[in-house]
Structure 1
Amino acid sequence: MKRILLLLLVAISFSSHAQVGSFNLGGRSAGMAGASLTLGDEFSLFNNIGGLGRLENHAAFASYQNRYGVSQFQVVGAGAVYATDIGNAGVGFYKFGDDIYSEQRVHLAVGNKIQMVSLSLGLDLLQYNIATVGTSRALAIQFGGIAEITSQLRFGAHIFNLNQAKYDSETGERIPTIMKGGFSYRPSDELMLNLEVEKDLDFDEIFKAGIEYRIVEKVFVRTGISTQPFIGAFGVGFHPKNLKFDYGFSNDSKLGNIHEISVAYSFKK
């Protein structure tokens, strides 16, 4: 009975866009309800690889997320970025679920910044396992970019599964192809306002809005909302020297609360 209930919960999660094809990670992103398309930080490797080229130092990072108070619905992710003068490279690992249902992702990406524009290309090895069905694997390509339109305004875009990879070549069932676009307005060094839209080719658009405010040096507060389903979020961050600690809380109106905590450390190249 426990296995049946968990598989039903996974199915509901799919219908509300909670998992398949969405790999957002990091407490900073979570605190803004996923409105992280224009961020150029370590977790760009998961949120929009277009920000990868903006990193100036090597970095290592990890995140843990618990969804809806269900121990089997855990997300763990980690990665590293190697920065050079001619471009940056990153590798990441993501895992959701347990032995009943799980998603795993190994991700490689390269990116560079040329003047005010950063562009990145990534390759993902995806593995999906359902205990009663078996395991499927696929390779997906993603592409992203961030452009500074003015000193206060940025535009970001990202597409996941550019090659429309399939779960199963026999059935033709495809991994979701997801496109994102959005703007970030930064009127001061302390304040950031983000507005984004996300579109799965098979579902309605998801709109996201997020705010980050630096209340004192190295301390940040965040909030955000997202639709389809409605999600309200808030978070805090503490960034002493080369370390970053971030926490995000969100409430999915259909499934419940989500907690995420992440840490990152940067190394001078």
Structure 2
Amino acid sequence: MKRYWLDSRGTWWRLFILLVLNVNPGWPAFSDAPLSTAPLGMGYATTAVTENIHAIYTNPAALAQMYGMAASMDYTQRYGLSELAHTQIMGAVSTNLGAIGLSYNQLGEDLYQERLVVGTYAYEVRHDLSLGLSLRGYQLDVAQYGESTTFGVDAGILLRPRPEVRLGFKAHNLNRPEIGVTHDPLPHSLTLGVAYVPRSNVVVGIDAFKDLDFPISYRAGVEYKPVPALALRAGVQTEPGQFSVGAGFYHRFLQIDYARVSHPKLGETNYWGLMIHWAE
């Protein structure tokens, strides 16, 4: 009886994952669903916005703009389901030879689990130009099917044509990696973003995101700091249509973030993040 319950639960779990992540039933593939809490509060329109440890995922080139050392952790249960628990841990350091970042990301539980390790290097070529590269190690573990591993490469560019304007570009999984027994391709996407900083306490981000297998998605977000200790965020995106809100709380070297993202069909997800930043 116990074995039948586990087999049945595993079957329903795999079906649910296929519906949520919209992937091939041969092997559930990694989605492009982000976890970084602060960028999510801005609708993830942050390819040219983020210049801290979260650049490991938003745009590897922007990590070159980080100073000192930083560590962070983000957590969510997607759509309120404990089976879709998602955890992300990151660390980064800035050196005279560039910035280096490392991240571990895990989604799921014993029956189904995605693990991702990312190593990032970014270098400021000039005061107005940064380049970045990330090596991504993917591991997929599905009960009764075993494990599968593959590697991907991301590249990014960050430009500053004017002090108040930043342009960002990110290419995700340039090498078109595949995973699983059926060699399902992992998401391959291109993102172009612009950030506008009209004042020191306001930043606006706009992104165009194109997964090569899906329609283009447009994203827009804003962050406003009414006082230095508080950031208010909001964002929207298309394909799918989503709305997000968030907030950040700052105290010395500590930052606590919250975001809430509303999906048109799957409901709402709450995200929590903690970051510690030691400036030089």
Q: Name the TM tier (shorter chain).
A: over 0.9
1:55 Cα offset (Å): 0.5
Amino acid at match of 1:10: I
Change in CA separation of 1:176 and 1:26 when aligned onto 2, cut-off 3 Å: closer
How far 1:218 moved relative to its partner? Answer: 2.1
- Equivalent residue for 1:5? 12
Tell me the amino acid that sits aligned with residue 254 of structure 2.
Answer: L
Cα offset, 1:228, TM superposition: 1.7
- 1:226 aligns with 237
Q: Which residue of 1 aligns with 2:170?
A: 158
The answer to whether the 8 Å contact 1:21/1:177 transfers is no
Count of matched residue positions in the alignment of Structure 1 and Structure 2: 266
Report the counterpart of residue 31 of structure 1 in structure 2.
41
Q: How does 1:198-237 map to 2 (within 5 A)?
A: 198-237=209-248
1:246 and 1:143 mapped to 2: Cα distance? 26
Q: In structure 2, how many angstroms separate the alpha carbons of the residues matched to 1:117 and 1:218?
A: 30
Alignment check: 8 A CA contact 1:239 1:245 kept: yes
Structure 2 counterpart of 1:218, one-letter code:
A
Aligned pairs for 1:108-257 (under 5 A) are 108-113=119-124, 114-168=126-180, 171-257=182-268
Find the structure with the greater CA-based Rg: 2
Specify the alignment match of 1:62 in structure 2.
Answer: 73
Q: Which residue of 1 aligns with 2:26?
A: none
* Residues 197-244 of structure 1: CA deviation (Å, up to 9, x unaligned): 111111111111111111112211000111222111100101211111
Answer yes or no: is the 8 Å Cα contact 2:21–2:31 preserved in 1: no
SS at match of 1:45: helix
**Distance apart, 1:23 and its partner CA:** 5.2
- Aligned 8 A contact 1:58 1:81 in 2: yes
* 1:136-192 superposed Cα distances (whole Å, 9 cap, x missing partner): 110111111211121111111111111111114x74422121111111111111211
Question: What TM-score do the two structures reach when normalised by structure 1?
Answer: 0.93
Cα distance in 2 for partners of 1:46, 1:74 equals 19
Gaps of 5+ in 1: none
TM-score (norm 2): 0.90
- Pair 1:49 & 2:56 matched: no
Q: 5+ unaligned residues in a row in structure 2: which ranges?
A: 1-7, 24-28
CA contact (8 A) 1:23 1:47 kept: no
Equivalent residue number for residue 79 of structure 1: 90
Q: 1:122 to 1:59 in 2, by over 3 A?
A: same
Residue 4 of structure 1: how far off its partner (Å): 3.2
Root-mean-square deviation (CA, aligned residues, Å) is: 1.7
